[in-house]
Amino acid sequence: MDNVILDVVLGLLLIYLVLALLASKVQEMWFGQMRSGRTRNLHKMLQEAVGHDGSLKDKILANPSIFALSEGNKKVATPGFWSAQGPSAIPPDLFARALLVALYDDPQHSHPSKIYTPEAFVRNKAPAVAAGAGEPGSVWSTLRALLPGYEADWSGFEAAIADWFKAVGERADGWYQRYAQNRSLWVALALAVVLNVDTFVLSDRLANDPELRRSLSTLAQNVNALFQQEQAAQRGEAAPATPPAALAPDLRAGKALDQAATLITSAYGDVAKFDTNFALMGDRKSTNAVVGECAKASTTPKEILNPDRQPSSNVFLSNPINWLYLIPTLQSEIQILRRPVRIQGDAAQDPTRDKISLVSIHDCIARMSGLVDLVAKRQAAGSSARENLNGAVTQLKLAVDALREWLADTSVPLSFKRLFQTDPEAFIRCSQDPTVSRDSLRQCVLAAQTGRVNLPFGWGDANRRLSLCHVEVESAPPVVVVAAGASAASTPALNTPAQRGMSDSLCGEHWRFDGNPALRLPRMQLAGPDAWRWLLLVLGLACTALFVALGAPFWFDVLGRVVKLRAAGSKAREDALTTPDNAAATAKKAGSGAAEDDADPSFAPERNVLEKILTAADLLALQAVLQVPRTGQLDKATRAAIETVSPKLGLPATDEVTLVLFQQLVGRLPEGLGSLNSPSASMKLGAADVRSPQVSWELMRLTAFPNRIAPPPPKVTDDLRALAVLWRYKREVTAGQALPNLTVATDANTRGKLDEITAADVSLLLSGNAVPAFAREAAPWMDWALGELGQREAQSPAATTRAASNPRILEYFAACGDNVSAEDVAWCAAFVSWVLQRHQVVDLGQAAAPGNAGSKFFGGPGSTFGSAPQPQWRAGDAWPPTAVASGDVVTLAQAARGVVDHVGFYMGSNATHVWVLSGNFSNRVGIDSFPMGQIVEIRRP
């Protein structure tokens, strides 16, 4: 996907660059030459320099030394509407001398040095009353300002005047550039309209046409290479090394297969440790087969490199001898797939091509790379066979990567509306074939364009339809009822012959397509432009004009940067596919002083669960992005780079590899992640999970709980579960849910429902895009309580031993100093004690104060957590209470009036009931409503 985006950008940059060059040439030819733009600018500059003294300006231009700079013998005059006469530039030293001669005003055009010194000249010739700035005669004020230091030095005085005129000229150049920029915008807009270069349509064409996109991308890279060479030659330097333009994916695949075949051929005679047991692993009859049928020979013997090794119908990759003839066969199949589709009235009749599947070629090479890698590992370390086979593995992986890109190109979602717009007549004709498929219909319409010059711009029929016309879809196609024994593919299409409706000068004939139920195509009709199309066209042309007006130098610079970025991406992908030789990596590590790293325990090779399952390709890809030596191991340099880059990505400062760090840097999930947990799987309480540390960090950030879990564990703990539940609760409240309709409260009644972090939540957390972050509750201990929703007794009925009890409930008892009770003992007050103690210890940083396990005394006089001398509300007070807030402790008498038997945290109330978050009600932590008459008192902790 990254290459597709960069190729689209390169195509756009190339078109902008060409148009910018064309616009600059048109602007210079029209305004600079035909309308004498630079001469006009010089007239304006002289007018400013001499203080708008027209006669003085004319005298300067009439000076023989200045007049000689003009073309022809025409008298210099004020510029007219169409053109201007006179020089386009005056050297500063000539201007200084001409100015002094004009001011001296001698009939013989003498220089004032003949009689005066500079000081005497200014004193005697300057008017008695100094002119204002910009008025005739103000030039004398300028001369007075330049005179100090040169009162008797004509050479220095003239040099000072020349420097001043040079500064005026630089300012005038700015005027000209500004005017040129404005004119370039109008020229660019004219070119965009004349050539119909619509940025929006052009981007869409490049994104959906792989061949056009790749052609322009390759041309842009070649243009950049030529430009870099020309620039280096002008500077007298050696041409910089420019990466070659990226080949098409099928060509890259063929090149990689060719190199792989050479390496495998070189290694085959030296392959050791090959036995018959390995050869039999590909047998289809074996229940333990590693690789089954790979590909069927679909080419003639002449297309195989060695006809003497003709394969059987089924080719099995478990025998390395098959590699020697299968690779040339696959290369031949790739070339056949490149052949254009044969279109002769019917689109689908291309049997030779239909026998070959790009997907099967991709899968075959992918399997082959794995088996070649397996054989390579069985060879002696440092042997030529191992080196050759490792090189072959790299080339095979590059071929797989290229074919995957080709598959992505060929599987672009098919827009039949766009095809209908491109050529409605061909679309209707191709759809009349009763054997046509959706894919062959696309190929048929594109093949009909063969021989036409379909540039992505211009006012040709296809471009005009794509820019201005739109397709009206009348209704969904009718359902096809297929008779018994028939198939939908054999049912004739229901569309009638091509039908034409009205026409206009922009879209031409308004063709109508009557649908094809067999292909699930609706009725469509071409329609003329509407207001929205006109608006998009105007905006697209305006965008093009703005971009083109930025100028060719700007686009040359941007083009060079994007080409480097694309080459770096391709190189990084190639490096990531490289499999290092373990023996060579070990030798390199020993020779580079890595033994000191091993002696330092802070640089242990594996520091967490994720690092244990990272493959060599994962480490090489990570090191390529970090720009450290690619050793394939987590060495000291790699860890130092990780520690440096982590804070820049907004992650905790650590030298360990985390899942989010790897994703953000490499752009994918680690290959070895599948050996532990699927990236899309949910996270379950108590299970070891490589994603747990990163999910913990993200949840602590989102819930403003930075110290809740330290350090994050390698598995899903009760604390991580609590953060996930709290985050879900806050999201539901923010979304407008309220008691008693909170979904999270309902799930608390279902056994184990909240013990699992859903796959959707895990994916959102790992993406780093979860928003917003929530503040703590007004009563901060409630964040602890809300996270415990759904915690329940491990058994039903409750366990009578601690070993069988829910460990979390045992933690509640421990907060009261009770280390003997099991979950069958009432634990509602223990839960409240645990919540307030955790808030006291973690949030307030105080020493733990044991609570009271008995609900009867909890929060009453003498209680550790009862801070107010009087409760906020007690039985007999007016209801609803006004001084009660969320988080206050509620004691209730459920069985008999006045006998306290339950306790929890106040959540809300109405005229008759109160909602309480408590433990041990229905054997779990939940939110339940109680009649107001059961409340004994409500006290602020």
Residue 269 has a pLDDT of 62
Q: Which of 39-53, 566-580, 803-817 has the lowest mean pLDDT?
A: 566-580
Using pLDDT thresholds of 50, 70 and 90, give the confidence band for residue 280.
very low
Strand duo 314-315 + 295-296: pairing:
antiparallel
Using pLDDT thresholds of 50, 70 and 90, give the confidence band for residue 478.
very low
- In sequence order, the 6+-apart residues with CB closer than 8 A to the CB of 280 are 286, 318
Residue 243 has a pLDDT of 58
Amino acid 106 reads D
Residue 279 has a pLDDT of 39
- pLDDT by residue (tens digit) across 682-703? 888 988 777 788 788 889 989 9
Residue 930 has a pLDDT of 92
Average pLDDT over residues 855-877: 59
Residue 666 has a pLDDT of 75
- pLDDT by residue (tens digit) across 9-20? 888 888 888 888
Asked if the model's pLDDT at residue 803 lies above 50, the reply is: yes
Q: Which of 443-447, 452-456, 904-908 has the lowest mean pLDDT?
A: 452-456
Task: Yes or no: say if 386 and 394 are a contact pair by the CB < 8 Å rule.
Answer: no
Element (H, E) at 39: helix 37-49
Q: What is the distance between the alpha carbons of residues 866 and 859, in angstroms, rounded to a whole number?
A: 5
Asked if the model's pLDDT at residue 936 lies above 60, the reply is: yes
Strand duo 508-513 + 524-527: pairing:
antiparallel
Quote the pTM value. 0.44
Alpha helices (H) along 269-342: 276-279, 321-338
What is the token pair recorded at 904?
């929890």
Highest mean pLDDT among 226-230, 329-333, 542-546: 542-546
Task: Yes or no: say if 49 and 136 are a contact pair by the CB < 8 Å rule.
Answer: no
- pLDDT by residue (tens digit) across 429-444? 888 777 777 767 777 7
Average pLDDT over residues 393-415: 74
Asked if the model's pLDDT at residue 493 lies above 60, the reply is: no
Q: What percentage of the chain reaches a pLDDT higher than 70?
A: 71
Nearest partner of 617 among 365, 408, 393, judged by Cα: 393
Angle between helices 358-377 and 321-338 (to 10 degrees): 150
Residue 418 has a pLDDT of 76
Nearest partner of 460 among 213, 201, 220, judged by Cα: 201
Using pLDDT thresholds of 50, 70 and 90, give the confidence band for residue 481.
very low
- In sequence order, the 6+-apart residues with CB closer than 8 A to the CB of 71 are none
Asked if the model's pLDDT at residue 827 lies above 90, the reply is: yes
Average pLDDT over residues 553-560: 80
- pLDDT by residue (tens digit) across 180-189? 667 778 888 8
Nearest partner of 361 among 402, 412, 395, judged by Cα: 402
Q: How far is CA 295 from the centre of its chain?
A: 36
Residue 864 has a pLDDT of 42
Residue 918 has a pLDDT of 95
HEC states along 172-197? HHHHHHHHHHHHHHHHHHHHHHHHCC
Residue 318 CB neighbours (<10 A): 21
Using pLDDT thresholds of 50, 70 and 90, give the confidence band for residue 855.
very low
Average pLDDT over residues 827-831: 91
Highest mean pLDDT among 495-504, 653-662, 848-857: 653-662
Phi, psi (degrees; rounded to nearest 5) at 575: -65, -35
Please give the angle made by the CA atoms of 696, 702 and 705, to the nearest 5 degrees: 70
Q: Which of 511-520, 597-606, 642-651, 679-688 has the lowest mean pLDDT?
A: 597-606
Residue 928 has a pLDDT of 93
Residue 353 has a pLDDT of 52
Residue 316 has a pLDDT of 56
- In eight-state DSSP terms, residue 344 is B
Nearest partner of 835 among 912, 896, 779, judged by Cα: 779
Using pLDDT thresholds of 50, 70 and 90, give the confidence band for residue 673.
low
Strand duo 889-892 + 314-315: pairing:
unpaired
Amino acid 277 reads N
- In sequence order, the 6+-apart residues with CB closer than 8 A to the CB of 690 are 608, 609, 610, 613, 659, 673, 676, 677, 714
Highest mean pLDDT among 186-200, 453-467, 913-927: 913-927
Q: Which of 92-96, 272-276, 646-650, 652-656 has the lowest mean pLDDT?
A: 272-276
- End-to-end CA distance of the chain: give it in Å, rounded: 57
Residue 249 has a pLDDT of 77
Using pLDDT thresholds of 50, 70 and 90, give the confidence band for residue 37.
low
Asked if the model's pLDDT at residue 395 lies above 50, the reply is: yes
Residue 475 has a pLDDT of 53
Nearest partner of 364 among 295, 416, 431, judged by Cα: 295
Quickly list DSSP for 732-795. Answer: HHHTT--TT--HHHHHTTSTTGGGEE-HHHHHHHHHT----PPPPPSSTHHHHHHTTTT-B-SS
Angle between helices 759-767 and 718-734 (to 10 degrees): 90
Using pLDDT thresholds of 50, 70 and 90, give the confidence band for residue 303.
very low
Asked if the model's pLDDT at residue 351 lies above 80, the reply is: no
Using pLDDT thresholds of 50, 70 and 90, give the confidence band for residue 458.
confident
Would you mind telling me the total number of residues written for the chain in this entry? 941
Residue 283 has a pLDDT of 39
Residue 173 has a pLDDT of 66
More confident residue, 535 or 324: 535
Q: What is the distance between the alpha carbons of residues 183 and 192, in angstroms, rounded to a whole number?
A: 14
Using pLDDT thresholds of 50, 70 and 90, give the confidence band for residue 596.
very low
Residue 282 has a pLDDT of 37
Asked if the model's pLDDT at residue 98 lies above 70, the reply is: yes
Q: What is the distance between the alpha carbons of residues 816 and 813, in angstroms, rounded to a whole number?
A: 5
CA distances 284 to 142, 311, 323, Å, are: 99, 16, 18
Using pLDDT thresholds of 50, 70 and 90, give the confidence band for residue 135.
low
Element (H, E) at 399: helix 384-410
Using pLDDT thresholds of 50, 70 and 90, give the confidence band for residue 719.
very high
- In eight-state DSSP terms, residue 510 is E
Residue 634 has a pLDDT of 87
Task: Yes or no: say if 816 and 829 are a contact pair by the CB < 8 Å rule.
Answer: yes
Strand, helix or coil for residue 924: strand
More confident residue, 635 or 1: 635
More confident residue, 2 or 762: 762
Residue 479 has a pLDDT of 38
Q: With 0-12 CB in 10 A as exposed, 13-18 as middle and 19+ as buried, what is 690?
A: buried
- In sequence order, the 6+-apart residues with CB closer than 8 A to the CB of 217 are 6, 7, 10, 11, 245, 246, 566
Residue 577 has a pLDDT of 55
Using pLDDT thresholds of 50, 70 and 90, give the confidence band for residue 288.
very low
Q: What is the distance between the alpha carbons of residues 514 and 510, in angstroms, rounded to a whole number?
A: 13
What are the start-end ranges of the E strands in 791-901?
A: 873-874, 889-892
Give me the residue label for tokens 């366990």: 799
Using pLDDT thresholds of 50, 70 and 90, give the confidence band for residue 723.
very high
What is the token pair recorded at 16?
């902008």
Measured on CA atoms in the order 575, 580, 586, 588, is the torsion positive or negative?
negative
Query: Mean pLDDT in the chain?
Result: 74
207-238 residues labelled b (16+ CB within 10 A) or e (exposed): bebbebbbebbbebbebbbeebeeeeeeeeee
Residue 1 has a pLDDT of 46
Give me the residue label for tokens 């790299």: 394
Nearest partner of 10 among 227, 203, 249, judged by Cα: 203
Number of Cα atoms under 13 Å in the Cβ half of residue 727: 27
Using pLDDT thresholds of 50, 70 and 90, give the confidence band for residue 672.
low
Using pLDDT thresholds of 50, 70 and 90, give the confidence band for residue 254.
confident
For the chain, domains (ranges, CATH) are: 38-174 (no CATH), 249-410 (no CATH), 413-478+492-530 (no CATH), 580-669 (no CATH), 677-775 (no CATH), 797-941 (3.90.1720)
Asked if the model's pLDDT at residue 268 lies above 50, the reply is: yes
Asked if the model's pLDDT at residue 520 lies above 90, the reply is: no
Nearest partner of 278 among 329, 324, 313, 316, judged by Cα: 316
